[in-house]
Amino acid sequence: MKQVEKDMWDAHLYDGKHSFVSEFGHDLINMLSPKKGERILDIGCGTGDLANKLFQYEVDVTGIDKSENMINQACMKYPHIRFMAKDVLEMEYNNSFDAIFSNATLHWIKEPQQALSRIYTSLKPGGRFVAEFGGEGNVQKITDEIINAFQLTDIDFNMKQFPWYFPSVGKYTSLMERVGFHVTFACHFDRPTPLDEESGLRDWITMFAGEMFKNQNEYEKERLIKHVENNLRESLYQDGCWIADYKRIRVIGIKE
């Protein structure tokens, strides 16, 4: 019997403290250049903000996300848009979309070639794939310090609990080409990202890095997070604000 995964996503915390994820996606929509009447799939739509932005271009947009919590929130916020709880690895679309868009999602998928194959199959011939996600070195200062905190407090950390896939541009574009994409654009860039309030780093860890602490009780988790905050304050805390060391990849691929 298939084990049901616990939905770790807190949609209210996401909207309340991490709206920057969607805000940074507006530039990506400009790269997508949506055209009226196009059928567009938003993979990893979260609580729907960017899907709604796409809707304003008069496109036929569908948003999917693996998290039912996120999809439920998206449906409440934007009832005029089609949202579904769906894993990209289980998509069964075939030549269905003019474009596929994805912001801040693909680094969560540890089977990148399988995901890209599903994306490629879902596009119409000539369709475009436009995405941004975490690249090599993304949040490395934060994650290195979390792992260091485990080691210093004699708590075992299994790297299988590391929840992300952060590839280089070369590695990812090679996978794109392997499944059939013609890569027309790819870049890797630094994007230091402010985290609001004194609790910004803690909130980020709670929202995005919870998988790394899944075997710890609340006391152990609190002790580890305090250790991380103390050790990173000098390098990542500036003028009353935490700055996450984001490094991003943007790609465009065409299905030929």
Mean pLDDT, the chain, rounded, equals: 91
At 191 the pLDDT is 93
In a domain, 24, yes or no: yes
In a domain, 154, yes or no: no
In a domain, 229, yes or no: no
2 band by pLDDT with thresholds 50, 70 and 90: very low
Spatial distance between the Cα atoms of 145 and 230, rounded to a whole number of angstroms: 10
At 9 the pLDDT is 46
3 band by pLDDT with thresholds 50, 70 and 90: very low
Nearest to 70 by CA among 125, 12, 116: 12
- The continuous run of DSSP H or E covering 65 comes out as strand 60-65
Looking at 1-15, 49-63, 147-161, 208-222, which range is the least confident one? 1-15
Residues 228-247, mean pLDDT to the nearest whole number: 95
Beta strand 241-244 pairing with 193-195:
antiparallel
11 band by pLDDT with thresholds 50, 70 and 90: low
User: Which of 9-13, 95-99, 213-217 has the highest mean predicted lDDT (pLDDT)?
Assistant: 95-99
Counting the structural domains of the chain, the total is: 1
- CATH code of 64's domain: 3.40.50.150
Structural domain for 27, as ranges: 11-138+164-195+246-255
At 155 the pLDDT is 85
User: In sequence order, what are the beta bridge partners of 64?
Assistant: 43, 84
Looking at 54-63, 110-119, 203-212, 244-253, which range is the least confident one? 203-212
In a domain, 210, yes or no: no
Spatial distance between the Cα atoms of 106 and 112, rounded to a whole number of angstroms: 8
Supply angle C-alpha 155, 158, 164, rounded to 5.
125
Q: What percent of the chain stands above pLDDT 90?
A: 80
Question: Of 198 and 1, which is predicted with more confidence?
Answer: 198
In a domain, 117, yes or no: yes
Spatial distance between the Cα atoms of 122 and 91, rounded to a whole number of angstroms: 8
Phi, psi of 72 (to 5 degrees): -60, -40
At 22 the pLDDT is 55
In a domain, 156, yes or no: no
- The continuous run of DSSP H or E covering 179 comes out as helix 169-179
In a domain, 20, yes or no: yes
Question: How close are the terminal C-alpha atoms of the chain, in Å?
Answer: 39
In a domain, 126, yes or no: yes
Q: What percent of the chain stands above pLDDT 70?
A: 90
